[in-house]
Amino acid sequence: MASLTVENYVKTIYLISADQGGGPAATGRVAAALGVSPGTVTAMLKTLGEGDLATYTPYEGAKLTRSGNRLALRMLRRHRLIELFLSRTLDLTWDQVHEEAEHIEHAVSDLLIDRIDAFLGYPAADPHGDPIPRADGSFDAPESRSLVDCGVGQQFRLARVVNQSPEFLRYLSESGLPLGATGVVTANHVEAGIVAIEVDGKVATLGREAAGKLLVSQP
């Protein structure tokens, strides 16, 4: 049975690696994500190595082994299903569910998670649009692109939010940009560093960095 700390580490390594196209997760990024020192991360990576969950190469970073990858996907399945369950059944907003799921995911059984999955109708994505792994670890990843890469006049549907900080999610809600919102790009100025969009007749302006955290698909 993996400890809470081990589960958090493998999940974090998986997410960082996925964010950069599969490369090793740098010690500094893992430390920043978990709020610990790089030295603490290095020591923990040795423990993960002894448990055949990850391999660590100095100056490069950590990569999960097959066993580590399975555990990470198991934890992501738990986390994302719990987020969606809290959203649908208890009406928690998308900026509230992450912290609650972080606490619950380590305490529930696989049986309960499977029952939640069935209860929700075997959903493909969580409240932020992140794909939910199936019990076997597989998942669907619909084609999407960053909003910052969309040209003027292009219509879009908000499919996934990469930056899931509560503050950013609340900003999106206040701007009329919930998951699934459809709109059109009205301006994309590289020089000015902004992307302007129109959703339901309302115009919103985003910095290019913020727009880069929104993944969109065809409406």
The top-scoring range by mean pLDDT among 21-30, 111-120, 174-183 is 111-120
Say whether pLDDT at 1 is over 80.
no
- Read off φ and ψ for residue 152, nearest 5 degrees: -60, 135
pLDDT at 12: 97
* Torsional sign, CA 89, 90, 94, 97: negative
Is 193's pLDDT higher than 60? yes
The larger pLDDT score, comparing residue 128 to residue 176, is at: 128
**pTM, rounded to two decimals:** 0.92
Which pLDDT tens digit goes with each residue over 128-174? 999 999 999 999 988 999 999 999 999 999 999 999 999 999 999 99
pLDDT tens digits for 67-123? 999 999 999 999 999 999 999 999 999 999 999 999 999 999 999 999 999 999 999
Q: Taking residues 24-43, report their average pLDDT.
A: 95
Token pair listed for 201: 């007749």
What average pLDDT does this structure show over 20-42? 94
The pLDDT value given to residue 2? 67
Mean pLDDT of the chain: 95
**Cβ-proximal residues to 213 (8 Å cutoff; 6+ apart), any chain:** 146, 161, 162, 163, 168
Pairing of strands 54-57, 61-64: antiparallel
Q: Which domains does the chain possess?
A: 4-64 (1.10.10.10), 74-141 (1.10.10.10), 145-217 (2.30.30.90)
Structure tokens, 97: 């569910």
In DSSP notation, 133-167 reads P-TTS-------EEGGGPPTT-EEEEEEES---HH
